[in-house]
Amino acid sequence: MPGLLEGRGITVRFGGLTALKGVDFGVAPGEVLSVIGPNGAGKTTLFNVITGRVRPTEGSVMFRGEAIHRLPPFRVARLGIVRTFQKTEVFASLPLMDGVAAGALARDDPDPSARAREALETVGLLGKAALTAGQLSYGDQRLLELAQALAVAPAVLLLDEPASGMNHQESAHIVRLIGELRDKGLAVILVEHNMHVVMTISDRVMVINYGEKIAEGSPAAVRGDPRVIEAYLGRQQGSDADPR
Ligand SMILES: Nc1ncnc2c1ncn2[C@@H]1O[C@H](COP(=O)(O)OP(=O)(O)O)[C@@H](O)[C@H]1O
Ligand SMILES: [Mg+2]
C-alpha cells in the first residue's frame, strides 16, 4: 500500500520566509522514511504540517486517500498519526503508567492501562512503571515519549530526533525499536542527525535544504549524492560518533 500518507507540493511560508517549497513525500506501512538536512531546512515544519500544527500555504497531505491538512492536531492524532518532539515532552510528576495511559485515552481505547502497559513493555520501561517521569534518566525519558506515542496505537509514527543526546548504547536500542515497529507494519518518518542511525534503519531517505527536496533514495544512493554531501553530509564530520 504505497501512499498511506502522501504529501503533494507542500509549501509553507512564514511571512517572508519560505520554510518549505513544493515538497512531495509518501510513506507506506512497514517503511522507514528519514528526512535529513541542515538546521533550519524545514524538517520540523514538515512534521508540523503532517500533524495539523501548521497549515500549508499550498499543497496537500492525504492519509488513506483523505485530505488531512486542514484538520486540527487532535483530529490528525485520532486518525493514528502521532509524533514525538525534538525536545522531550513528558509529564514529569506523573507515574509513567498514567502519562502513557493518557495517550490511549485520547483515542478512546477501551482499556488505556493495558495499552499503556504494552507500550511501556515495548520500549523496555515496564519495570520502572511506578516511577515518575522526572525520576528517569534523559535516555529513558526519550523512550517514555516513544511509549506515549505508541499508546495511541499509531499507523504513522513521526520521530523528531529520537536519538539526540543519546549515547551509543541508547541509540542502538532506538534503532532496534524502530526496526521492530516497522516490522509490525507501522509507517515511520524519522528526522535524525545521527547519520549512523539514519543509514542503518532507513528504507528511504529524503534530503531537504532551505525548504526544498534536493534528493531522495536508498541510504546508499543519498549518501553518495554530491549535492547531499555539499549541502549537508560534508558538514557533518564526526557526527557518526555521538558527541556525548
Ligand atoms: N512558527 C514559525 N514561525 C516563523 N518561522 C518559523 C516557524 N517555524 C519554523 N520557522 C522557520 O522555518 C525554517 C525551518 O525551520 P524548521 O522546520 O524548524 O527546521 P529544521 O527542523 O529542519 O531545523 C527556519 O528558518 C525557522 O526559523
Ligand atoms: Mg527541527
Question: Which ligand 1 atom sits nearest the alpha carbon of residue 20?
Answer: 14
Domain end, chosen from 153, 171, 206, is at 153
pLDDT at 72: 96
Whether residue 13 contacts residue 56, with contact meaning beta carbons closer than 8 Å, is answered with no
User: Are both 95 and 130 inside the same structural domain?
Assistant: yes
In 3D space, the residue among 136, 144, 142 whose CA is nearest the CA of residue 119 turns out to be 144
For 17, counting Cβ atoms within 10 Å of its Cβ (0-12 exposed, 13-18 middle, 19+ buried), the class is exposed
Whether residue 55 contacts residue 224, with contact meaning beta carbons closer than 8 Å, is answered with no
170 occurs within a structural domain: no
Residue with cell 541508547: 170
Which residues in the chain come in under a pLDDT of 70? Answer: 1-2, 86, 88-90, 236-244
Domain extent, residue 220, equals 1-80+154-163+179-238
Secondary structure letter of residue 213 according to DSSP: E
243 occurs within a structural domain: no
Q: How far apart are CA 173 and CA 179, in angstroms?
A: 10
User: Are both 66 and 158 inside the same structural domain?
Assistant: yes
User: Are both 59 and 159 inside the same structural domain?
Assistant: yes
Containing 206, the helix (H) or strand (E) segment is strand 204-209
pTM: 0.92
pLDDT tens digits, one per residue of 55-95: 999 999 999 999 999 999 999 998 999 998 767 666 778 88
- What is the CATH classification number for the domain harbouring 226? 3.40.50.300
User: Are both 71 and 159 inside the same structural domain?
Assistant: yes
Whether residue 223 contacts residue 199, with contact meaning beta carbons closer than 8 Å, is answered with yes
Query: Exposed e or buried b for every residue in 86-113, given b needs 16+ CB within 10 A?
Result: eebebbeeebbbbbbbbbbebbebeebe
100 occurs within a structural domain: yes
User: Are both 124 and 28 inside the same structural domain?
Assistant: no
User: Are both 15 and 42 inside the same structural domain?
Assistant: yes
Residue among 18, 23, 45 whose CB has most ligand 1 atoms within 8 A, to mutate: 45
In 3D space, the residue among 79, 20, 80, 26 whose CA is nearest the CA of residue 48 turns out to be 20
User: Are both 3 and 68 inside the same structural domain?
Assistant: yes
53 occurs within a structural domain: yes
pLDDT tens digits, one per residue of 157-186: 999 999 988 899 999 999 999 999 999 999
- Which residues have C-beta atoms less than 6 Å from ligand 1? 14, 17, 19, 37, 39-45
Whether residue 167 contacts residue 244, with contact meaning beta carbons closer than 8 Å, is answered with yes
174 occurs within a structural domain: no
CA–centroid distance, 115 to ligand 1, in Å, is: 34
pLDDT at 26: 97
User: Are both 55 and 42 inside the same structural domain?
Assistant: yes
119 occurs within a structural domain: yes
Residue type, 111: D
Question: Which ligand 1 atom sits nearest the alpha carbon of residue 41?
Answer: 22
- In the chain, the number of structural domains is 2
pLDDT at 240: 45
Question: What is the rounded radius of gyration, in angstroms, for the C-alpha atoms of the chain?
Answer: 17
CA–centroid distance, 45 to ligand 1, in Å, is: 6
User: Are both 186 and 91 inside the same structural domain?
Assistant: no
172 occurs within a structural domain: no
Q: Which ligand is nearest to the CA of 43?
A: 1
pLDDT at 242: 39
